[in-house]
Structure 1
C-alpha cells in the first residue's frame, strides 16, 4: 500500500503553482528587480489567512516578513470549532526536499559525494538496466527522467487513501515498489537524463537512500545534526514511525466517501516526512540564504537552473510547473529550490509541499527582504489549481 506522500502526488503538484498565481514575469536569474517592499498590510494579511468559502481549508497558519517587520497569523478549525494558534505544527511534505539537497551539498563539500557521479556508481543495482546513467545532480534538479512514485499503480479510492494513511515506508521500499513492482509492468524512463526538467519525487527517495548509505546514519539523524540543531529549529521533527502532530497543531481532514470528515493528524509517510512550524521554516530559509548551511561553492547551486550545452535553460516537460512569464516552459528548479516570479518583477525561491490533509510553502527573495511561509490543513478532497490562501498572501505582500 502506498505512503501518504505518494498518494497526494497530484495534489502536491497543484500546490506547486500556488505562489505563481497573478505573477507576470518568469524568473530568469536570482537577482530581484529594484523595488522597495511594502510594509505588511496587516488587515489584508488577516483577511488572507481567514478561511473563505470554497478554500477547502480547515485551518491555516502563516508568517510573513517584509520591510523589516514580521507578521504571524492563524485561522481556526472550521470543522471542530477549535482555535488554531500561530505557533501550530503541521506536516510540511516536499518542503523537506531542499533539506535533502542541502545535506548532499554538504557531503559534496566534504568530498564524500560527487554530484556529477552516477547513481549507478554509488548505489549499484538500485536502478534497472533499462535506465541510462543518472547523476546525483540530476536527481536533485529534477532532470533524471525517472518515473514518479508508484508509476502505473491503480489510483486508490478516497477511502483507501484514508485507510492506508498509517503506513510508514523506507526510501528503498518506495524505490523498489516503483521500479520493480509486483503484478504490473515496470515503468521505464520518461526521457533521457539531462534533456528536460520534470518535478520528480522518486529522485528524492533515491537521494534519501544515498544520504543514509554515505553517512551510515538515518536521514532523521543527518537532518537533525546538519540542519535542525544548527538553526535551532526546535519545533521541527522527523518521526521515525507513524506519529501524531504535537500540540498545538493545524487540523487536517479528508472526507470519506460518505462525507464524514476524517482527522488525518496521525499518519505515517517516509523518513523525510517532517513536521514543523512557520517560524522554524522561516529559520530554515533564512539560514539557507544567508550562508549558514552551505559553503560558497555549494551555495552557488541555490539559484542555478539546469542548462543545455548552449547555456539556455532546459525545457520543462509539461505544464505542471515553470509555466508563468516570458520564460514559460523552461526549467525553474535549481539543485535545491524552485523560483517563482512576483508581479513586480522580483523573484522568490523556495518550495511547496503536500502531505495527506496538509499543504505548505516556504519562499524568500535572495536578499531575504521578503519571506512567506504558510501551512494549512484541508477540509475537502484534493483539487487542482493554486491554493487561494497563497494567492491572497502574495497579493497582500505585493501591494504598494
Structure 2
C-alpha cells in the first residue's frame, strides 16, 4: 500500500519518515527514508526491544490485549519502565528484519490517506482481488469458522487454545488459497506499476553499489547464495535454492501459528503453507513445516529448508509446486 501511494505521488520513498510523521521518532534517530523503513535498513529497534520477556503463561493471559500503532511505537521508543532504545546502526548501512517498521508504515498509510489501515487494505487489495476469506479484524479477536486452531503449552504442560487474539491494527486473517491469489496477483503486476513492483525485488546497496550486509551474517542469503548480505527487498525476502532458483515471499507468525507464501518471479513455482504450532518461539524450526516443504522442494535430495531468525520472526524456507498447496 505504501508503494501504491508512491505510485500515486503521495509518498516519496526518498523522503525521511520524520517528514511525514514529525515527532514520531526521538531526536536520537537520524533521518530514516521511507525506502529504508520498508527494506529493513532503518536501524530502528524491534518492537518492545529491551522489555523483559513474557512467560508462556503471561502470553496466554494477555493474548486478548490490543494496541494501536501509536501505543506500540511509543512503548517501544519511549518506554516508561526501562531505558529508551537507541539506533542499532546508521540508516542504510546494514539490513536487519524489523517489525516496528511495519507499524510505522501502517501509521504512515493512515496519516497520508486519512483512513484506517483496515479500510485502506480492504479497498485497495481485498475487494479488487476478491479475497473474500481475508480480513482485518482490528480489535475483534473472533475467528471466522471453520479455522485452524493454534495452541500454546502452559506451565502445567497443558495445551491452551490461543486462536483468538488481540494484536494490533495490522493483524490479518487469511487462508492459503487467498494468499496464493494475492502473491500471484502481486507478481503479475495487478497491484503495482512496474517501477514500484521492481522495488520489492531490489536489494539495498551502499554507495559503492554493493549489497549492504545483513546485521547477523548467518541470517540471509542473497539470490546468488552469498551469506551475510541483505536478502530483503521492500517487504519481500529472497530465498535461493540449491539449483539456483530464487524464491521471493514472506513468512508470518502469531501465537500458535506459522505461515508463509513464496514464488518465483515468473510464478512457475509457488507455494503457501499455514500450520498450527504449540510454541511462541519464532526462532525455532517447526518439524511439520520442514517435512512438508522438504517433500515439495527436493524430495530426493539432502537439502533442508533454512529456518532463520529475523528480528523475532523466523523464516521457514520452502515452497510447493504449482497447484500443490501444503
Same topology, TM > 0.5: yes
Matched with 1:332 is 231
Is the 1:245–1:266 Cα contact (8 Å) retained in structure 2?
Answer: yes
Following superposition, the deviation at residue 380 of structure 1 comes to 4.1
After superposition, what is the alpha-carbon deviation per residue over 1:175-201, rounded to whole angstroms, capped at 9, x for unaligned?
000001012110000000000000001
1:376 aligns with 2:275: yes
Question: What residue in structure 2 maps to residue 191 of structure 1?
Answer: 89
Give 3-state SS (helix, strand or coil) of 1:108's partner: helix
Aligned to 2:306: none
Alpha-carbon distance in 1 for matches of 2:69, 2:8? 23
Matched residue SS, 1:273: coil
Q: Is the contact between residue 167 and residue 242 of structure 1 (CA under 8 Å) also seen in structure 2?
A: no
CA distance in structure 2 between the partners assigned to 1:376 and 1:398 by the alignment? 17
Aligned: 1:355 with 2:235: no
1:249-278 CA-partner distances (Å, limit 9, x unpaired): 111110111111110011100111100000
2:153–2:160 CA contact under 8 A, matched in 1: yes
Note closer, same or farther for the CA distance 1:295–1:383 as it changes in structure 2 (3 Å cut).
closer
Normalized per residue, which structure has more helix?
Answer: 1
1:386 paired with 2:285, answer yes
Q: State the secondary structure of the residue aligned to 1:375.
A: strand
1:255 aligns with 2:153: yes
SS of equivalent residue, structure 1 residue 351: strand
Question: Which range moved further: 323-332 or 313-322?
Answer: 323-332
1:293 and 2:191 correspond: yes
Change (3 A) 1:119 1:104: same
The structure-2 alpha-carbon separation of the partners of 1:309 and 1:380, relative to structure 1 and needing over 3 Å to count, comes to closer
Cα RMSD (Å):
1.5
Q: Is the 8 A contact 2:253 2:282 kept in 1?
A: no
Cα shift at 1:376 = 1.1
Residue 383 of structure 1 deviates from its aligned partner by 6.1
Structure 2 partner of 1:201: 99
Shift of 1:218: 0.4
Equivalent positions of 1:308-347 (< 5 A) are 308-319=206-217, 321-323=219-221, 326-347=225-246
- CA distance in 2: counterparts of 1:275 and 1:222, whole angstroms: 16
> Using the alignment, how far apart are the partners of 1:326 and 1:277 within structure 2?
31
| Structure 1 residue 300: Cα displacement | 1.2
Distance (whole Å) between structure 2 residues aligned to residue 248 and residue 343 of structure 1: 38
Q: Which residue of 2 aligns with 1:93?
A: none
Does the aligned pair in 2 maintain the 1:301–1:336 contact within 8 Å? no
Pick 1 or 2: higher relative contact order, CA cutoff 8 A, min separation 6.
1
Corresponding position: 1:396 with 2:295: yes
Whole-angstrom CA distance in 2 between matches of 1:161 and 1:226: 33
In the alignment, what sits opposite 2:324? none
Alpha-carbon distance change, 341 to 393 in structure 1, aligned in 2, over 3 angstroms: farther
Does the 8 Å CA contact 1:254/1:264 hold for their aligned counterparts? Answer: yes
Per-residue displacement from partner, 1:271-299 (whole Å, max 9, x unpaired)?
A: 11100000000011000000100011111
1:235 aligns with: 133
CA contact (8 A) 1:252 1:263 kept: yes
Alignment partner of 1:367 is 2:293: no
Matches within 5 A, 1:63-102: none
Q: Contact 2:135–2:172 (CA<8 Å) still a contact in 1?
A: yes
TM-score (norm 1): 0.72
Q: What is the number of equivalent residue pairs in this alignment?
A: 298
Residue pair 1:343, 1:398 contacting (<8 A) in 2 also: no
> Displacement, 1:381?
5.4
SS at match of 2:62: helix
Give, in angstroms, the shift of residue 326 of structure 1: 4.0
Gaps of 5+ in 1: 1-102
Is this contact kept in 2: 1:242–1:269, CA < 8 A?
no
